[in-house]
Amino acid sequence: MRRETDAQVIVIGAGPVGQSAALLLARWGIQVLVLDQRPARGRGGSKSICQQRDVLDIWAAAGAGKIAEEGLAWTTARTYYRDRELSSWSFEDDGTLPACVNISQSRTEQILDEIIAGQPLIEVRWDHEVTGLTQDSSGVSLRCGQRVLRAPYVLACAGARAQGVRSAAGVAFAGESFDDQFLICDIKAELPGWEDERRFYFDPVWNPGRQVLIHPCPGGTYRIDWQIAPDFIPTKDDIARKLRQIIGDRPYELLWHSTYRFHARLASRMRAGRVLLAGDCAHLLAPFGARGLNSGVADAENAAWKLAFVLNGWAGEGLLESYHAERHAAARENLEVTAATMRFLVPRTVEERMRRRAVLEGGRIAEVDSGRFAEPFWYVDSPLTTPEPSRPFRGRPPKGASCEPAPGVILPDVALPGGRLRESCRDGFLVLLGDMCDSSLFVQVLGKVITAPLAVRGLAEIDGTGSLAERLGAGPDEAWLIRPDSHVAAILPHAGPESVAAAVSRALGGSPDT
């Protein structure tokens, strides 16, 4: 048997999560081999279409800003009960990237493929099914047919059907599957007034007792999801009839259609030794709220910078273990949020059905749950986060709004002269200092004790107008420690270099190198 790879990390799965992981690893100088069991890239179909602002930011850091540029930025979500509008809400305008864009998964994959093709540190091998996995103290061996490929670490992004990989890593995948199914259609049509709105219908006359969701997409296309009976197999005539019930006699072109069922499952571990699990390989969520792909890309970013820091000798095993602590907690929250949505959308008991009907007929808007939209997970309880009592996490903000800055929360993507704040956060740790802090002293002291990439910048240096400090609520004697994924690791009042060094050490998982 041949062992043939120089990769430092093997990524299993060439979907958008695996692609993102490979690009982010390569950005840190890591040699990556991507394996996919399919013979080639599949084309067509919208699949996961809603990409949230913070994920667009991750892709921009990976060189894929084109996704945000090509995506359709929708602004308003409307919810209806039968023919009556119950509510609408709009995203808060915060940052220079759109709050959300709709773009098909197939087009996202094409854009990521284009960037990967120009990246010499990434090799992609199709038609490579992983049929065996073993690991020891120095690396992981993967069997692909007659080949054995070996690397120090493996990042499994192999999707929902990766049971063989999970089993070989000793990871369980408990949860449940739902009987109800959905029909998806991608159509091209002119629907005036619908071009930038998401519309969710409970119990419309053209789908009684069930739901319909309509999303605008680029190029005058729309995605429509119908909840349908578990045993219903739609014919072309059924699809045409359903479409006519919504769009009337307008001309349209049916581009693609499919059916799907959804699941709620979570891996028992997202780190199993030298194997890390990400995306659908680690968690399956109901689609309402667009938390699947968005959380998968966040998994990829979290895993990538931590693997890179360990491989480059800047951190130890504690940092890798924090991947499980942080992203497993994120997946649990996503499951809780989507489970509450599913109890409302697909009630299973008489009591749940009665409650939903009372909420909808009574117009109790605050209790209507059509899916809380994807948002970053805030690492307030992470072992990497230094808490600060004067900056407590105040819980989830109102729907569509941004979270108030605090340790563990992602940094707001503030517009600055010549760019965005987060663009300066992606090359290592960043220390932001108030006006009363001596930047040169921090540089001198931290440079002696920190080996990981770290930059020190004054808030006034970044933005002399003072608007950045005001937006953050940063005091003149404070130091803010920002992680490579733009999350706030610490906010330190009356800060000195020693307290910042301690916070960096903690944010590196207690690395022996600090």
Q: pLDDT tens digits, residue range 266-319? A: 999 999 999 999 999 999 998 888 899 999 999 999 999 999 999 999 999 999
Q: Determine the pLDDT at residue 399.
A: 67
- Write out the two tokens for 387: 């808490």
Residue 3 pLDDT: 54
With cut-offs at 50, 70 and 90, classify the pLDDT of residue 324.
very high
Confidence at residue 1, expressed as pLDDT on a 0 to 100 scale: 44
What pLDDT digit, counting tens, does each position of 149-199 carry? Answer: 999 999 999 999 999 999 999 999 999 888 888 999 999 999 998 999 999
Tokens 């540089």 label which residue? 443
Q: How many CB atoms lie within 10 A of CB 249?
A: 6
- Which residue has 């002269």 as its token pair? 417
Predicted confidence (pLDDT) per residue in 112-136, tens digit: 999 999 999 999 999 999 999 999 9
pLDDT value for 36: 97
Compute CA distances 225 → 52, 216, 248, 306, 407, whole Å. Answer: 20, 12, 17, 38, 39
Residues 333-357: pLDDT tens digits?
999 999 888 889 888 889 999 999 9
Helix, strand or coil for residue 498?
Answer: helix
Tell whether the model's pLDDT for residue 217 goes beyond 60: yes
Query: What pLDDT was estimated at residue 240?
Result: 96
The letter for the amino acid at 461 is E
User: pLDDT value at position 438?
Assistant: 92
Give residue 514's pLDDT. 39
Is residue 90 predicted with pLDDT exceeding 90?
A: no
* Residue 426 CA: distances (Å) to CA of 42, 60, 80, 490: 31, 11, 41, 17
Calculate the CA dihedral of residues 65, 71, 75, 81 and round it to 10 degrees: -140
Res 400: pLDDT: 61
User: Are the CB atoms for 6 and 47 separated by under 8 Å?
Assistant: no
pLDDT in tens, 132-151: 999 999 999 999 988 999 99
Taking only the tens place, the pLDDT of each residue in 307-323 is: 999 999 999 999 999 99
- In degrees and rounded to multiples of 5, residue 427 shows phi and psi of -105, 15
Q: Give every CB contact of residue 354 below 8 A, 6+ residues apart in sequence.
A: none
**Taking residues 234-263, what's their average pLDDT?**
94
Instruction: Supply φ then ψ for residue 218, to 5 degrees.
Output: -60, 155
pLDDT at 178: 81
User: If you average pLDDT over residues 392-398, what whole number do you get?
Assistant: 83
Burial category of 470 from C-beta neighbours within 10 Å (exposed 0-12, middle 13-18, buried 19 and up): exposed
Instruction: Express as a percent the part of the chain with pLDDT over 70.
Output: 97
Most confident of 75-89, 113-127, 217-231, 393-407: 113-127
* pLDDT of residue 411 exceeding 80: yes
| 3-state helix/strand/coil string of 317-358 | HHHHHHHHHHHHHHHHHHHHHHHHHHHHHCCCCHHHHHHHHH
Would the pLDDT of 513 be above 60?
no
Supply the pLDDT for residue 396.
Answer: 80
Q: What band does 45 get if pLDDT is binned at 50, 70 and 90? A: confident
Average pLDDT, the chain: 92
Residue 436 has a CB neighbour count (10 Å cut-off) of 11
Nearby residues of 225 by Cβ (< 8 Å), 6 or more positions away: 182, 183, 184, 211, 212, 213, 214
